[in-house]
Amino acid sequence: MGDDPKRTYLVVIDDSAEARVALRFAARRAAKTSGRVEVLGIVEPQDFVQFGGVQAAIEEEQRLRIEGVVSASVGEILDESGVEATVVVRQGEPVKAVREYIGDRQEVHALVLGAAPSGDPGPLVAHFTDGDAGKLRCPVMIIPGSLTDERLEQLS
């Protein structure tokens, strides 16, 4: 059993507060289960295609912003939990990027998403809890963005 891959929690991160709550939950859960966290940042394609150089500059700026958000969130939270983490930044449409990333990765045990504390829960939460919910290779954990640190500790 020592050669089994570690249980992996995949968190999709952006600059929202609920994404950081989901990451904090996943890190605490991974620490308690001797698991690890994979953090996926997604750079969405830009609609502006009239001038290729401008579009490339906008996409590069967005990629650097996402990398900065991911690094800041991951550094703080994973340092406190002490879990192993991998950070990946992908480019593309978010639902497709998540689905492709999970793809044939048997080590991903759960997709952990943060839901906005009010209003629309977010596009990934809406998508993966609707008609596509039964098509993933792993469970989806929806973490309410309104949870306090104390409650996260209790639940993880």
Reported residue count of the chain is: 156
Determine the pLDDT at residue 88. Answer: 86
Total-model pTM: 0.84
pLDDT tens digits for 10-65? 999 887 889 989 999 999 999 999 999 999 988 877 665 566 666 677 677 777 77
Spatial distance between the Cα atoms of 104 and 108, rounded to a whole number of angstroms: 9
The pLDDT of residue 86 is above 90: no
Half-sphere exposure of 20 (CA within 13 A, CB side): 14
**Under 8 Å between Cβ of 32 and 156:** yes
Structural domain boundaries in the chain: 8-155
pLDDT for residue 74 is more than 80: no
pLDDT band with cut points at 50, 70 and 90 for residue 1: very low
CATH hierarchy code of domain 8-155: 3.40.50.620
Q: Are 36 and 83 in contact (CB under 8 A)?
A: yes
